[in-house]
Amino acid sequence: MFNDPLLVVVAIAVAVVAIILLTGIGGFAKGGDFNRKHANRIMRYRIYAQAVAVALILLFVWLRSKG
Q: How far apart are CA 61 and CA 48, in angstroms?
A: 20
Q: Which DSSP symbol is given to 2?
A: T
Residue 47: the pLDDT is: 97
Is the distance from CB of 15 to CB of 44 less than 8 angstroms? no
Q: Which pLDDT band, with edges at 50, 70 and 90, does 1 fall under?
A: low
Q: Average pLDDT for residues 38-66, to the nearest whole number?
A: 95
**Residue predicted with more confidence, 6 or 2:** 6
Parent domain of 23:
5-66
Is the distance from CB of 56 to CB of 6 less than 8 angstroms? yes
Domain count, the chain: 1
pLDDT score of 2 more than 80: no
Q: Which pLDDT band, with edges at 50, 70 and 90, does 3 fall under?
A: confident
Q: How far apart are CA 56 and CA 40, in angstroms?
A: 24
The pTM assigned to this predicted structure is: 0.86
